[in-house]
Structure 1
Amino acid sequence: MTTHETDTPASADQADTGALPKTFDPAGIEARWYAHWEDTGLFRPERPDAKPFTIVNPPPNVTGSLHIGHALDNTLQDIMVRYERLRGKDALWVVGTDHAGIATQMLVERKLEAAGDKRTNHSREDFIAKVWKWKEESGGTITGQLRRLGCSMDWSREQFTMDPHFTQAVLKVFVDLHERGLIYRDKRLVNWDPKLKTAISDLEVETKDVAGGFWHFRYPLADGAVLADGRDYIEVATTRPETMLADMAVAVHPDDDRYASVVGKEIVLPITGRRIPIVADEHADPQLGSGAVKITPGHDFNDFEVGKRAGFKPADMLNMLDGEGNVVQTADGRVPKEFIGLHRFRRDGTDGAREAVVQRMKADGFLIPRVTKDADGTAVEHDAEPRTIATPYGDRGGVVIEPWLTDQWYVDAATLAKPAIEAVRSGAIEIVPKTWEKTYFNWMENIQPWCVSRQLWWGHRIPAWYDADGTPYVAMTEEDAQAKAGAGTVLTRDNDVLDTWFSSALWPFATLGWPEKTELLAKHYPNDLLISGFDILFFWDARMAMQGIEFMGEAPWKRLYLHGLVRAADGAKMSKSKGNVVDPLGLIEQYGADALRFFMAAMESQGRDVKMDEKRVEGYRNFATKLWNATRFCQANGIGASQTIAAPPASSAVNRWITGAVVAVQGELDRALADLRFDAAANAIYHFVWDDFCDWYVELIKPAPGGEMDAETRAVAGWVLDQIFVMLHPFMPFITEELWHAQGKRPYELIVAQWPRPDAAVDADAKAEVEWLIALVSNLRAAKNELGIAPGARLDAYLAEPSAAGRRAIERNAAAIERVARLSSVQFAPAPSGPAMQVGAGEDVFVIPLEGVIDIAAERARLEKAKTSAQKEADSLAKRLDNPKFVEKAKPEAVEKARADHAHHVAEAERLDAALARLG
């Protein structure tokens, strides 16, 4: 156990009196303790010989601020780090931020635009200097917010993906992969964002359903060729008519008899006059439309593959758009000049290339109109049939993505993926929940080349230099590149930077000092656990697995835990447009970080999405208050800090029972956290603290008025309270640390205390005795409530034939039974005749006379009336639920409410029936 003698930051109220204030106020507590933990280095105490536990946080964007997903992700990580630190391990939680290439450049460019400036007015170096200045002044927002949440990260080693040591690691990985043939330059289609003017990955594209059209065109056959039905044209249909300016072929299915006679012949493309071949390819679906498909390999991913199969080299594929989406002349010079410079779509009220192409095709007689009939049967012609089209948008630029043919740098992801796939299959990486394995395998086994170059200024500049012929020389430095190219060769540096995810894929080992062979790297790689949202499984997790195995020889972590999303209360995805986004900082202000953290843990059920419920957050604030008040009770009765890690000796059943309950809940916690069942762990400690300790133990050990608590009970209660602070600390670190010190002077802070080692066992006899007592009190209170008897009313009870356990419990706990159960006496004899109620406890049934306690007739009438009303409501709801029309047509939430109401009224009728039975 680590000891850390220090002056602790007690509150002003405590400093003078040693007693807790009456009111629990989390705000001041959280600020004081977090600053103290960080300032004294307690997030990573010196434990050179301890077993390591290592976890890295998914580095948030340097532009970011804490959202509810971050709150979930980082709470789960902090629970595990605090838990392992309490278990004595050298727990390292690596923290840092990502330079976020696109997001950061966009932010700084917007700031320039707001000042009437723009990026291109500056040199690359000057603009990057502005980004660094912004980062130093404003880039730490989210790290401050992580502190508000209570994240016990090793801030002394805070990382940034553009730190000099990290940049060296990124460059080395690029150079090494290139030398191994796993990074190469190629001309391929990419997802091009015309607003940001950069390539983006498939994972950064979001698909939206957009209202569009489906245009049908005649493409004339060349040289007098005709189809079997006599037509001298092929009909093609497209949702993107503007791309016909760069068409290079028409594809038909090899088995489509309609076109067999013209495969290999040519089309004279309208508008451009370009002669293009008719090719046979299985991409064309004979059942879809005319069965013929226009092929634009420079602007469609499927067409690109068809074009390659048809023999077109990527270098020869036609490009008809510039980086902003404006029409440019194709390599063959076939685009008429009136189209040059048009934007691909209509904007600002001006027709774009799409409208111009359709108008020209219509004017020249190549548009095949769609005919519909109006209400009176009159035929109406339309240029296109309406269609809802799944359209790709850039998730940051917000405009339609253009498949664009460019030279880019690619990683051979398929080769890197193979050992990462095997790592999961062999168990070297355990994915939790296991159900995500199928998704992982499916993506990894079908992985495409990874485009890693981005046309930005902010980021890791690609370490490649080109000679006059465009030959790249890849090296760590310009001097090394020059040596490769030869003296006198003029070299020009590649302008592109690397995809942000390329650098963050090195996070588990570059943050530990790689490529240097540091002691930190030797001890803390591989990491023990990665906790991640499932939404970055492919962005980040899979890529870390690939790079970790490639460069370190083993998987970067032993376990990968994938949690769900935090959704709105109705299950909808949170979005600003819906107005249902929840600000975690607002919840922390209102209820405290501990309450929000506990909510996140209690609701996290292995992979299921978390539904936001502010009432439950409030409930966990009440839970914290309950513990606060229980500690105040202990202080008022002379119960202070325990002097022992092992459980104190105990003779009374109540003390032996609570000691065994600590043993049991610790076992539950250990098992749950070993299985990463955060909900089970949170619920176990919640019920122990609220039910066992606060509701029952505290109640059962209260001394009689004017009396004093015995020394044994004070010792046991103080020890149990200490164990609660330790076990609850990973979930609620602030209140537990405050209460830990409120109980007395300690040689060390709770954050570095010892995880419970009770050196005790569950005492079955004591457990049975106290559970019998609890059953008696609970059942008696319920019976009083059912019959309208005041809770404080003292009653007499008769037990004619007590069980051995019952007799023993009554004799040993007479004072508690009188005080807690409000039984004036318990007589081992038959009850006198007259109205009475029966209350059970274990095998025993108590008879409690009611003569003179309540008006039996009036109470029976009240219960009968209430039962009839409840039964009537239940029957009415049952009829509604039995009606198929209601179940099928009503809103799901209405059906669910009806079922819940029905269950409530049925339960109420049963409760009232039981109350009537008590009256005899």
Structure 2
Amino acid sequence: MLSTGYDILFFWVARMMMFGLHGMRDRGAEESVPFQHIYLHGLIRDQYGKKMSKSKGNVLDPIDWMDNYGADATRFTLARGANPGTDMALAEDWAAGSRNFCTKLWNAARFAILNGATTARPLPAVEDMTEADRWILGRLGTVLSEVDELLEEFQFAKATNTLYHFTWGELCDWYIELAKVQLAGEKADDARAVLGHALDTVLRLLHPFVPFVTERLWTTLTGGTSLVVADWPTGELLPAADPAAEGRIEDVQKLVTEVRRFRSDQGLKPGQKVVTRLTGPGFEAVAAHEEAVRSLAKLTEPGDEFTATASIEVALADGTVAVEVDTSGTIDVGAERKRLEKDLAAAEKELKQTDGKLGNQAFLDKAPADVVDKIRVRRDTAAADIERITARLDSLPDS
């Protein structure tokens, strides 16, 4: 396989092929060609899509990036933009995001290792796993298959993005948080085994893209000699995807996400705990995860004299969950009213601007359809924000 830029396809690649066919013509068709596959990558351009030039002063020095963001972050950034035949507009924001990813991976693995994550203990039997365990291992098996297929097709950017979103969005942000509850209970050893095997597989998959961080973490986790010579994961030990477990965990994620948004609307700080009552048929379906939901959303259980000051309903697969909170004494009503009034003014301004553009026929005739659609979305969002903020202001007690 030859890896090269498309700009020298006829200057170099075609000549290599012709010279091979000519000089090795007595070897037969298979042996006379110098390569069987050609991977044509795009050119690296600056953040505005301009070709890099010393005279323009828009050249990015990879050594500077390695000094500022690390070699792994630089490599990961280049891999995330490596779409076949497509130029890459490169900006430092990308490298900063890759550095954040490496830091996220490091912190998550460090937490897991410090809490006993191991590959020495075999995975528990499927019937003994929690729904969170079956969910993450099933998703990991799916991701492993997707990455294998993408690498076979030289889709390095898609493979990297698949690993990025799974590692950050599912393993770190959700499973490790759910596992914290298991680590404090009877399923602690099972959680340590699942965490260890999941991390082992993820580190192997990420190694071609993030070699140094994964090497250090993997050798610490497994005690192995080097990840460089470790086997590529096959997923043979991973259980099959469990649609029921995936659906349940998706419901938990939706419930926690909506409660967090609701808390923000109530003016509660992210780490501030609030007394909350959870009821309804939807909640009964995810009741086994109540401890995790309360931990993730910073909710405490209500006492006998609970009084709800605000509530929402969250629609899940098996019904709705009624979320009632008591915010009395937890927020500064005056400060919250000022914040909401400021947000309302911004939303009203946005609505006025978008209405003005959508009411201008000359603009609608000239503007591309996608631009008009985006303005309509902005207008609808502003209108929804006004309705939500107004309702919240009306619900606040007099300061």
Q: Same fold (TM over 0.5)?
A: yes
CA deviation after TM superposition for structure 1 residue 858, in Å = 8.3
Q: Paired residue for 1:775, among 244, 250, 254?
A: 254
Q: Which residue of 2 aligns with 1:336?
A: none
- The total of aligned residue pairs comes to 377
Gaps of 5+ in 2: none
Q: Which residue of 1 aligns with 2:41?
A: 563
The amino acid of 2:37's aligned partner reads R
Q: Which residue of 1 aligns with 2:349?
A: 872
Work out whether 1:836 is the aligned partner of 2:315: no
Secondary structure of 2:36's aligned partner: strand
Larger % of helix: which? Answer: 2
The amino acid of 2:7's aligned partner reads D
**Is the alpha carbon distance of 1:903 and 1:575 closer, same or farther for their aligned partners in structure 2, counting shifts above 3 Å?**
farther
Q: Which residue of 2 aligns with 1:531?
A: 3
**Is the alpha carbon distance of 1:558 and 1:795 closer, same or farther for their aligned partners in structure 2, counting shifts above 3 Å?**
farther
Residue 102 of structure 2 contacts residue 213 of structure 2 at CA under 8 Å; is this kept in 1?
Answer: yes
CA distance in 1 between counterparts of 2:66 and 2:36 reads 33
Residue 563 of structure 1 contacts residue 606 of structure 1 at CA under 8 Å; is this kept in 2?
Answer: yes
Q: How does 1:207-222 map to 2 (within 5 A)?
A: none
Measured on the aligned residues, the alpha-carbon RMSD in Å equals: 3.5
**Is the alpha carbon distance of 1:703 and 1:847 closer, same or farther for their aligned partners in structure 2, counting shifts above 3 Å?**
closer
Q: Which residue of 1 aligns with 2:74?
A: 596
The amino acid of 1:764's aligned partner reads P
Q: Which residue of 2 aligns with 1:796?
A: 276
Deviations 1:520-542 (A, max 9, x none): xxxxxxxxx22210011011111
TM normalised by structure 2 equals: 0.82
Q: Which residue of 2 aligns with 1:334?
A: none
CA deviation after TM superposition for structure 1 residue 649, in Å = 3.0
Q: Which residue of 1 aligns with 2:158?
A: 680
Secondary structure of 1:679's aligned partner: helix
Residue 604 of structure 1 contacts residue 679 of structure 1 at CA under 8 Å; is this kept in 2?
Answer: yes
Q: Paired residue for 2:200, among 711, 718, 722?
A: 722
CA distance in 2 between counterparts of 1:538 and 1:724 reads 39
Q: Paired residue for 1:735, among 200, 207, 213?
A: 213
CA deviation after TM superposition for structure 1 residue 836, in Å = 2.5
CA distance in 2 between counterparts of 1:588 and 1:561 reads 26
Secondary structure of 1:702's aligned partner: helix
Q: Which residue of 2 aligns with 1:204?
A: none
Residue 215 of structure 2 contacts residue 227 of structure 2 at CA under 8 Å; is this kept in 1?
Answer: yes
Q: Which residue of 2 aligns with 1:345?
A: none
TM normalised by structure 1 equals: 0.38
**Is the alpha carbon distance of 1:684 and 1:911 closer, same or farther for their aligned partners in structure 2, counting shifts above 3 Å?**
farther
Q: How does 1:829-908 map to 2 (within 5 A)?
A: 835-842=310-317, 843-850=319-326, 852=328, 863=340, 866-876=343-353, 879=356, 882=360, 907=381
Q: How does 1:274-313 map to 2 (within 5 A)?
A: none
CA distance in 1 between counterparts of 2:342 and 2:57 reads 46
**Is the alpha carbon distance of 1:726 and 1:648 closer, same or farther for their aligned partners in structure 2, counting shifts above 3 Å?**
farther
CA deviation after TM superposition for structure 1 residue 914, in Å = 4.0
Q: Which residue of 1 aligns with 2:14?
A: 542
Secondary structure of 1:570's aligned partner: coil
**Is the alpha carbon distance of 1:548 and 1:768 closer, same or farther for their aligned partners in structure 2, counting shifts above 3 Å?**
same
Q: How does 1:354-433 map to 2 (within 5 A)?
A: none
Q: Which residue of 2 aligns with 1:757?
A: 234
Residue 873 of structure 1 contacts residue 902 of structure 1 at CA under 8 Å; is this kept in 2?
Answer: no
Name which one, 1 or 2, has greater alpha-carbon Rg.
1
CA distance in 1 between counterparts of 2:49 and 2:131 reads 47
Percent identity between the two aligned chains? 36
CA distance in 2 between counterparts of 1:840 and 1:861 reads 31
CA distance in 1 between counterparts of 2:100 and 2:223 reads 27
CA distance in 2 between counterparts of 1:826 and 1:771 reads 25
Residue 308 of structure 2 contacts residue 324 of structure 2 at CA under 8 Å; is this kept in 1?
Answer: no
Secondary structure of 2:37's aligned partner: strand
The amino acid of 2:267's aligned partner reads G
Deviations 1:244-296 (A, max 9, x none): xxxxxxxxxxxxxxxxxxxxxxxxxxxxxxxxxxxxxxxxxxxxxxxxxxxxx
Larger % of strand: which? Answer: 1
CA deviation after TM superposition for structure 1 residue 790, in Å = 2.6
Residue 276 of structure 2 contacts residue 300 of structure 2 at CA under 8 Å; is this kept in 1?
Answer: yes
Q: Which residue of 1 aligns with 2:112?
A: 634
CA deviation after TM superposition for structure 1 residue 676, in Å = 2.0
Deviations 1:610-662 (A, max 9, x none): 00110110111111011111111112211234466xx5535211111111111
Q: Paired residue for 2:58, among 574, 580, 583?
A: 580
Residue 603 of structure 1 contacts residue 679 of structure 1 at CA under 8 Å; is this kept in 2?
Answer: yes
CA distance in 1 between counterparts of 2:285 and 2:257 reads 19
Q: Which residue of 1 aligns with 2:263?
A: 784
CA distance in 2 between counterparts of 1:589 and 1:833 reads 54
Q: Which residue of 2 aligns with 1:193?
A: none
